[in-house]
A and B are shown apart, each in its own frame.
Chain A
Amino acid sequence: MTTIFGVPTQALFGQLLLGLINGSFYAILSLGLAIIFGLLNIINFAHGALYMMGAFVAWMLLTYLGLGYWWALGLAPLVVGVFGILLERLLIARLYKLDHLYGLLLTFGLALIIQGLFRNQYGVSGLPYAIPAELSGGQRLPFMFLPNYRAWVVVASLTVCLATWLVIEKTKLGAYLRAATENPTLVQAFGVNVPLFLTLTYGFGVALAGFAGVLAAPIYSVNPNMGADIIIVVFAVVVIGGMGSILGSVITGFGLGLVEGLTKVFYPEASATVIFVIMVLVLLVKPAGLFGRTA
């Protein structure tokens, strides 16, 4: 058996694949953050809480209404998206004229409220959510046992990321969106309803977080704290990628998942911090981020 630094190549393939799966979550979450930031200039601190909410909505649909995973995959992002739209209309929209940092503070407060409420209601041990029957089991690949569900996570997130990119880059709607990002006043002057755009964008961005939450529900524990730690990592991902480009945030998300996966093999102790270390390095070399435009 061939080895790389004492690790069999076959095992390495397995680990890379797992890294890619984790990268899917980073990619969807950072994509949502990037879209929201691009248009609203707000860093959505509540993103992690809404990701958690997506997982909980999936659980509630199953428990209270008997609707399974596939329903949840469609409905939960919708619910989270609508919730996001309400947040934007009622609260966030009041801050557009102020400094962006207020948006950060507001969404931080929202994250605390959402997490606290779920913790009150459902405790902290987490809730069970099973892998859907169609996707249970797995494939015995030459180098590893790959659960079907994990493969599905990669496929689903790649599809969603790609579709989002296509919409933004190739459609007329996307063109408005990009234009509104560049110069909202001018776009408004052309008769485009920019406030509506902002609302829908926020709704879509957080719906992505909700979608990621549903994907996560069967593999991670569905618990109120699940979004709190991942959001900080995703912030670092966003800093590394730079928020200039949609595709950039997706690529960075997947890429960092791979890097993290490798770290788990070669030096597991550092796998929690490796993304932050990369962030420091990128800041030293290219402060605007890998795909960022210098302001």
Chain B
Amino acid sequence: MLRSVLLASALGALTMGGALAQTAVKIGVLGDRSGVYSDISGEGSVVAARLAVEDFAKIDPSVKVEVVSADHQNKPDIGAAIARQWYDRDGVDAIMDGVTSSVALAINQVTREKNKVLIDSGAGTADLTGPQCTPNTVHWVYDTVALANGTGSAMVKRGGDTWFFLTADYVFGQTLQRDTAAVVTKNGGKVVGSVKTPFPTADFSSFLLQAQGSGAKVIGLANAGGDTINAIKQAGEFGITGGGQALAGLLVFSSEVHALGTKVAQGLVLTEPFYWDLNDGTRAFSERFSKQMNGRKPTANHAGVYAGTIHYLKAVAALKNEAKDGAKAVAKMKEIPTDDPLFGKGTIRADGRKIHDMYLFEVKKPAESKDAWDLYKTLATIPGNEVFRPLGEGGCPLVKG
């Protein structure tokens, strides 16, 4: 009942929009609200989208925006089903967030089929702008290739030229190791060994001892989530970071570092495109965000939802009702340069990859940290054109030549 009313109003807006000079769009925030990624996605993404809508209304009130949200529970079939239903029945025009690679790839397909818009900020897979790229998808925040690139090259340049990998034994971990190893070797470093750890692993002690025994200067953690947390925690216990070896997290978010605490995580080196305390723009946003989120600071994914929504609405404002055609909206998004307080100025490439700078961070020592969210110091800024995979190498069919 409600649904049909909404649909009717959306259709109404579609037909009469020209006359009223007002465009109505509906944004769906599809994230993980209950599972392992709920801290980097979840309610925070909805808050970020709402803040973006609020801010955009100040710039251009002609676009009417409605935000809906749902939980894909990290299950691709549920994600795909919600996306289908949103596009088919509920009049959703664009989906934001899309954390978890498997779900993102599934939504990606549905979005192309229905010619809508997906602005994915949470997923790590570089396939979204590689073999599976579509004219309807923008990949905003990061991908695993960029993280590998960032951490790998920056660490070697800083003298960490021998590496040992703890690699989660599935495609994700192996890809992460492969990409990072390639960067390390390219920059003159050497990979002295690696061990495949089952996923998930609670006890890393055995693997850490092997890493310790290798004598490598850097221990690369080619894993994610709980595995990374356990590995970092136990590395501290076995005196690894104290013994002169550096830990490099290849996929770590600030929410996880916050959970670990600086006492345990100190000295960990990682790459992220966003940190709440980078500059005035990020601090102002984080302040507003954290008021609605029990004091939690936004993660890079939340920042991506905000910035992606703003940029999408800019394209909608430019296209008016033509923005209902997803491919056209995305083409417009690629045409206008991006500019927002969180990621600064940037562009979206032909393959859908959003380009911006990334940062190499080191986790502060407890003595340097003022409070529980004072986590990082910046080691290096890695320019966007160096950190992301070059346009021609991803195998995206949209890229000609």
On whether the two chains bind one another, the answer is yes
One of A15-23, A36-44, A97-105, A245-253 at the interface: A15-23
Please tell me the size bucket of the interface on B.
35 or more
Q: Which A residues touch B226, using CB under 8 A?
A: 126, 221, 223, 225
Contact A125 B238 (CB under 8 A): no
CA distance A126 to B261 in the complex (A): 11
Which of A19, A144, A226, A268 has the most chain B CB within a 10 Å cutoff?
A268
Distance in Å: Cβ of B10 to nearest Cβ of chain A? 33
A269 interface residue per 8 A CB criterion:
yes
Cβ of A119 under 8 Å from chain B = yes
Which partner residue on chain B sits nearest A116 by CB separation?
A: B34
A45 is an interface residue with CB less than 8 A from chain B:
no
The CA-CA distance from A57 to B206 in the complex, in Å, is: 28
Partner of A268, one of B38, B202, B207, B264: B207
List chain A residues, Cβ under 8 A from B206: 15, 18-19, 261, 264-265
Beta-carbon contact of A144 and B197 below 8 Å: no
Contact A225 B36 (CB under 8 A): yes
Query: Residues 211-249 of chain A: 1 if any B CB is under 8 Å from the residue's CB, otherwise 0?
Result: 000000001110101100110000000000000000000
Q: Within residues 236 to 266 of chain B, which ones have a CB less than 8 A from any CB in chain A?
A: 237-239, 255-256, 258-261, 263-264
A229 with B200: CB separation less than 8 A: yes
Are B203 and A138 in contact, CB atoms less than 8 angstroms apart?
Answer: no
Q: Does B64 sit within 8 A of A, measured CB to CB? A: no
Alpha-carbon gap, A123 to B32, bound state (A): 12
18 new A-B pairs (CB below 8 Å) besides A128-B264, A147-B239, A273-B198? A124-B35, A124-B36, A124-B37, A124-B39, A125-B258, A128-B260, A128-B263, A131-B237, A138-B238, A138-B239, A145-B238, A145-B239, A220-B202, A223-B229, A226-B202, A265-B210, A268-B196, A268-B197
Asked if B234 is an interface residue, CB under 8 A from chain A, the answer is: yes
Given A14-B209, A123-B39, A221-B233, A269–B198 Cβ distance below 8 Å?
A: yes
Q: Which residues of A contact B202 (CB under 8 A)?
A: 220, 226, 229-230
Number of interface residues of A (CB under 8 A): 38
Give bound CA distance, A11 to B34, whole Å. Answer: 41
Is A271 located at the chain interface by the 8 A CB criterion? Answer: yes
Please tell me if the beta carbons of A126 and B259 are within 8 angstroms of each other in the complex. Answer: yes
Q: Are A219 and B237 in contact (CB under 8 A)?
A: yes
Contact B259 A269 (CB under 8 A): no
A11 and B213: CB pair below 8 A? yes
User: Which of chain B's residues 38-94 have a Cβ closer than 8 Å to chain A?
Assistant: 38-39
Q: How far is B231's CA from A219's CA once the two chains are assembled, in angstroms? A: 10
The 7 closest A-B pairs by CB, nearest first: A272-B198, A125-B259, A264-B206, A128-B261, A221-B229, A125-B39, A18-B205
- Assess whether B169 is interfacial by the CB under 8 Å rule: yes
Q: Do B196 and A128 touch across chains, with their CB atoms under 8 A apart?
A: no
Q: How far is the CA of A88 from the CA of B233 in the complex (A)?
A: 36
Is the pair B205, A126 in contact by a Cβ cutoff of 8 Å? Answer: no
Known contacts A123-B39, A124-B39: A221-B230 contact under CB 8 Å: yes
| B195 interfacial contact with A, CB 8 Å | yes
Contact among B34, B203, B207 for A119, CB-based, below 8 A: B34
